[in-house]
Amino acid sequence: MIIGNRDELIQATQEIVRIASVKDASAGEGKPFGEGIARALEYALAKGRELGFKTENFSGYAGHIEFGEGPETLGVLCHLDVVPAGEGWSMDPFGGEIIDGKLYGRGTIDDKGPAMAVLYGLAALKDSGWQPQRRIRIILGCDEESGWDCMHHYLPIAGKPEIGFTPDAEFPVISSEKGILMVELSGALQCPKGIELVDIQGGNRPNMVPDRCRVKLRGIEDEGLLVKTATKIGAKMDLERDESGITMVFKGVSAHGSMPETGVNAISYALAMLHHLGFEQGIINFLYEHIGFSHDGRGLNIEVKDAFGPLTANTGVISLEDNRVKVLVDIRYPVSFTQEQILDRLTAGLSADVTLLSHGGKGPLHVDGDSQLIQILQRVYEKHTGEEAKLISIGGGTYARALDNAVAFGPVFPGQTELAHQPDEYISVSHLVKLAEIYGEAIAKLGRPGRD
């Protein structure tokens, strides 16, 4: 299929990128995520109508563009909200400029560009006279980057599509995503004689490997001892002293919490230091003994794995309040386990003075390689790229988890630099057009299976 509406696709992508759809306080009725997101949604739906489709706006939480009828629905799940521009841009993040064949702006690859590619791919299909056997819905979520309130609102009203894909991660096909479980462990602080732990604070979010942990102590006069201990445990540390005590700042290397082995956890070094200073009781001791430097959950009784990989556990945040130390751990468990199984094992592994508060999470996603969905997406990918469509298994979570029988399919090709959430985010025009062709064909095959 050759996209005849190439120029319109490029122009629409530029125009929607120019709408700064960053989450904001509610701007009133029908704008739960603020003015910018509401405008981006209205823009996309208006384009859908212009191209001859039915559209519906679900109170500003999400919308869909619909084509055809059928006993089942194929959902293509995109999102129109973007993360803030952030620092470091050499272009206007909301300018939608094209320079040397690259269309720059926040949301060009994540996920407004792919959303427009899906829309124009479907339009080309409709213009060719094609008729689906499944109802097609391009679902436009408006809160993917935050709490997914878009889907919590939309799906109970509109219903879950029976089959679908999301152009919001990587090619070829992500068929397996680990379960996500956030837990909070807390326990009373017990300090050794003569030393007072005034404060410990590390990390900002459970799903990031923390690159900083600050520990403030009183009762230690010998700075040399701290420096020597830091060297012994291999910690990178800065010392600050004022009249109220000594503050140690441990440094690590940040990474995504689904891949803790790729980062260096600053909290682990802080725990090791405290252990060496004589913290051998209470919660600090438990955390050192049972988590320490590990990220496979072994000390927590949850070291499990299956064919798609091992469980990972990232100690993302530590804090001290009212003499209790609290840590947030982001656990990614393999697809053949349930949240209950992991929680049961974890509970059994805790000591009596440690409290477990579960923060919930998202169940694993796994779609069988023999399924119609995977088989068709693999064929479409191989036809358009000439490359083998290997199935990918990841620890991160994609938008596909919002649905039951859905997977992530693009838009980033293997070997391409991941520009989502980065400064100077762009999509090349040729990439955008290629996406329209691939997504158009994926819709053609999934919307009318059994005909090649």
Give contact residues for Zn ion (rule: CB under 5 A): 110-111, 168
Q: Which of 81, 143, 330, 425 is labelled catalytic?
A: 81
The answer to whether 141 touches 168, Cβ cutoff 8 Å, is no
> 197 CB contacts (<8 Å, ≥6 apart)?
189, 191, 215, 216, 217, 274, 279, 284, 320
Cis peptide before 84 (omega within 30 of 0): no
Q: What is the nearest approach in angstroms of Zn ion to the Cβ of residue 428?
A: 18
Q: What is the nearest approach in angstroms of Zn ion to the Cβ of residue 421?
A: 9
* Strands, sheet with 179-188, edge to edge from the N-terminal-most edge strand: 236-242, 245-251, 212-218, 196-202, 312-321, 324-333, 179-188, 354-362
User: Is the CB of 21 or the CB of 175 nearer to Zn ion?
Assistant: 21
Q: Which of 110, 111, 144, 177 is labelled catalytic?
A: 144
> 249 CB contacts (<8 Å, ≥6 apart)?
212, 213, 214, 215, 237, 238, 239, 240
The answer to whether 367 touches 377, Cβ cutoff 8 Å, is no
User: Is the CB of 110 or the CB of 162 nearer to Zn ion?
Assistant: 110
Q: What angle do CA 58, 138, 432 make, to 5 degrees?
A: 130
Q: What is the nearest approach in angstroms of Zn ion to the Cβ of residue 8?
A: 23
Query: What residue type is 431 in one-letter code?
Result: H
User: Is the CB of 293 or the CB of 413 nearer to Zn ion?
Assistant: 413
Cβ atoms < 10 Å from Cβ of 151:
24
**What are the C-alpha distances in Å from 170 to residues 156, 203, 248, 255, 396?**
28, 28, 40, 19, 12
User: Does residue 81 carry a catalytic annotation?
Assistant: yes
User: Does residue 144 carry a catalytic annotation?
Assistant: yes
The span from the CA of 305 to the CA of 296, in Å, is: 9
User: Is the CB of 168 or the CB of 170 nearer to Zn ion?
Assistant: 168
Choose among 202, 236, 226: nearest CA to 277. 226
DSSP of 236-281: EEEEEEETTEEEEEEE-B-EETT-GGGSB-HHHHHHHHHHHTT--S
User: Is the CB of 172 or the CB of 210 nearer to Zn ion?
Assistant: 172
Q: What is the nearest approach in angstroms of Zn ion to the Cβ of residue 79?
A: 6
Cβ atoms < 10 Å from Cβ of 250:
27
User: Is the CB of 391 or the CB of 419 nearer to Zn ion?
Assistant: 419
Locate 367 and state its tokens.
């779609």
Choose among 273, 277, 248, 253: nearest CA to 265. 253
Q: What is the nearest approach in angstroms of Zn ion to the Cβ of residue 337?
A: 26
User: Is the CB of 168 or the CB of 437 nearer to Zn ion?
Assistant: 168
Q: What is the nearest approach in angstroms of Zn ion to the Cβ of residue 267?
A: 28
> 445 CB contacts (<8 Å, ≥6 apart)?
376, 379, 380, 452
Q: What is the nearest approach in angstroms of Zn ion to the Cβ of residue 20?
A: 16
Kindly state the greatest CA–CA separation across the chain.
82
User: Is the CB of 170 or the CB of 441 nearer to Zn ion?
Assistant: 170
Catalytic residues: 81, 144
